[in-house]
Chain A
Amino acid sequence: MRILGIGAFHSDAAAALIDGDRVVAASSEGAFSRLPHDPAFPIRAIRFCLQHGGVVARDLDRVVFYEKPLRKFERVLATQMQAFPRSARSFARSAFAWLGDRLWIKHHIARQLAVEQSRIVFTEQASAAATYAFATSPFEAAAVLVVDDAAEWATTTIGRAGPEGLELLWESRFPHSLGYVASAITQYLGFVPGADEGLVEALGAHGTPCYAGVLGELVPSVGGGFTVCQRSFRFGFDSDRLFDAALVEQLGPARNPGEALLGGASGGTRHADIAASLQVVLEERVLELARATHRRVPVDDLCLSGALARNSRVLARLRGEGPFRRVHSPPVPGKAGAAIGCALYALHADRGTLVRSIGHAIGEPVDDRAEDGASPLPEGVTAPAALLQRLLAGERVAWVRGRMEFGPHSWGHRSLFASARGQLARSALLAAVQHVESFAPCRLALPRAAAAEFVEMDGVLGAPGGPLRLKARDALRDAAPSAIEPDDTVWLHLVDPQDDPDLHSILVAIGEQQGLPALLHADFALRGASIVRSEVEAVDAFRRSALDALVVQSRVYEAAGRRAT
Chain B
Amino acid sequence: MKLAQRWIRWRNRSLWTDPVRRVRTLESFAATEDDGGKDLLAAAKRILDADLRRHIQRHAEDEVRHASLFRGRAAELRSEAGLGVRRDEESGRAFDLIESRRGAGHDRHSATMCDELGEVAYVAMLHVAEQRARDLFEVHQSLLEHDPETRAVFEQILRDENYHVAYTSKFLDDWQAQGRGAEVVSALSAAKSSRFLGAWKRLGLRSGAGFSQVLLLVMYWTVLLPFGVLSRCMRRPPAAAEVQSASKLGSQY
- Interface residue stretch chosen among A38-46, A203-211, A277-285, A408-416: A38-46
Decide: A256 and B95 in contact? CB cutoff 8 A: no
Q: A34-B108, A100-B95 are in contact. Are A82 and B236 (CB under 8 A)?
A: yes
Decide: B41 and A544 in contact? CB cutoff 8 A: yes
Number of interface residues of B (CB under 8 A): 54
Decide: B104 and A35 in contact? CB cutoff 8 A: yes
Decide: A78 and B231 in contact? CB cutoff 8 A: yes
Q: How would residues 187 to 209 of chain A score, 1 for a CB under 8 Å from any chain B CB and 0 otherwise? A: 11010010000000000000000
Q: A176-B240, A225-B240, A240-B91 are in contact. Are A39 and B220 (CB under 8 A)?
A: no
Q: How far is the CA of A255 from the CA of B83 in the complex (A)?
A: 11
From B100, B213, B221, B227, A102 is in contact (CB under 8 Å) with B100
Decide: A124 and B246 in contact? CB cutoff 8 A: yes
* Any A CB within 8 A of the CB of B99: yes
Determine the residue in chain B with the shortest Cβ distance to A222.
B239
From A39, A92, A93, B101 is in contact (CB under 8 Å) with A39
From B87, B88, B112, B237, A173 is in contact (CB under 8 Å) with B237
Decide: B108 and A35 in contact? CB cutoff 8 A: yes
Determine the residue in chain A with the shortest Cβ distance to B252.
A70
Decide: A41 and B251 in contact? CB cutoff 8 A: no
Q: A93-B95, A97-B95 are in contact. Are A157 and B243 (CB under 8 A)?
A: yes
What chain B residues lie within 8 Å of A159 (beta carbons)?
243
Decide: B221 and A88 in contact? CB cutoff 8 A: yes
* Any B CB within 8 A of the CB of A300: no
From B85, B88, B212, B228, A96 is in contact (CB under 8 Å) with B212
Determine the residue in chain B with the shortest Cβ distance to A248.
B84
Q: How far is the CA of A145 from the CA of B69 in the complex (A)?
A: 49
**Could you tell me the distance in whole angstroms from the C-beta of B76 to the nearest C-beta in chain A?**
13
What chain B residues lie within 8 Å of A171 (beta carbons)?
240-241, 243
Determine the residue in chain A with the shortest Cβ distance to B232.
A84
From A39, A169, A253, A539, B242 is in contact (CB under 8 Å) with A169
* Any A CB within 8 A of the CB of B229: yes
Decide: B240 and A127 in contact? CB cutoff 8 A: no
Decide: B216 and A91 in contact? CB cutoff 8 A: yes
From B87, B91, B252, A122 is in contact (CB under 8 Å) with B252
What chain B residues lie within 8 Å of A9 (beta carbons)?
100
What chain B residues lie within 8 Å of A58 (beta carbons)?
none
* Any A CB within 8 A of the CB of B178: no
* Any B CB within 8 A of the CB of A537: yes
Determine the residue in chain A with the shortest Cβ distance to B92.
A240
Q: A95-B216, A240-B91 are in contact. Are A256 and B84 (CB under 8 A)?
A: yes
* Any A CB within 8 A of the CB of B97: yes
From A68, A78, A167, A372, B46 is in contact (CB under 8 Å) with A372
From B42, B91, B243, A170 is in contact (CB under 8 Å) with B243
* Any A CB within 8 A of the CB of B224: yes
**Could you tell me the distance in whole angstroms from the C-beta of B207 to the nearest C-beta in chain A?**
13
Q: How would residues 537 to 565 of chain A score, 1 for a CB under 8 Å from any chain B CB and 0 otherwise? A: 10110011000000000000000000000
Residues facing B in A249-269 (CB within 8 A) are 253-258
Determine the residue in chain A with the shortest Cβ distance to B101.
A40
* Any A CB within 8 A of the CB of B111: yes
Q: How far is the CA of A84 from the CA of B38 in the complex (A)?
A: 44
Determine the residue in chain A with the shortest Cβ distance to B234.
A82
* Any B CB within 8 A of the CB of A231: no
What chain A residues lie within 8 Å of B220 (beta carbons)?
88, 91-92
Which of B95, B112, B252, B253 has the most C-beta atoms of chain A within 10 angstroms of its own C-beta?
A: B252
Residues facing A in B171-224 (CB within 8 A) are 209, 212-214, 216-217, 220-221, 224
Q: How would residues 75 to 119 of chain B score, 1 for a CB under 8 Å from any chain A CB and 0 otherwise? A: 100100001111110010001010111001000110110000000
Q: How far is the CA of A123 from the CA of B91 in the complex (A)?
A: 29
Q: How far is the CA of A258 from the CA of B71 in the complex (A)?
A: 11
What chain A residues lie within 8 Å of B225 (beta carbons)?
84
**Could you tell me the distance in whole angstroms from the C-beta of B98 to the nearest C-beta in chain A?**
9
Q: How far is the CA of A297 from the CA of B233 in the complex (A)?
A: 38
Q: A81-B231, A96-B212, A372-B45 are in contact. Are A68 and B253 (CB under 8 A)?
A: yes
**Could you tell me the distance in whole angstroms from the C-beta of B52 to the nearest C-beta in chain A?**
16
* Any B CB within 8 A of the CB of A536: yes
What chain B residues lie within 8 Å of A374 (beta carbons)?
none
Q: How far is the CA of A159 from the CA of B242 in the complex (A)?
A: 10
In the complex, the 3 A-B pairs of residues with the closest C-beta atoms, listed nearest first:
A84-B228, A540-B111, A240-B91
Could you list some 20 contacts between A and B, CB below 8 A? A9-B100, A39-B100, A81-B224, A81-B231, A82-B231, A84-B231, A89-B217, A91-B217, A92-B213, A92-B214, A92-B217, A100-B95, A121-B249, A156-B240, A169-B243, A170-B242, A225-B239, A240-B87, A253-B84, A536-B111
13 new A-B contacts at CB < 8 Å, known A69-B252, A88-B220, A256-B86 = A9-B100, A35-B104, A70-B253, A71-B253, A81-B227, A81-B228, A91-B220, A97-B95, A122-B251, A157-B243, A169-B243, A188-B85, A255-B85
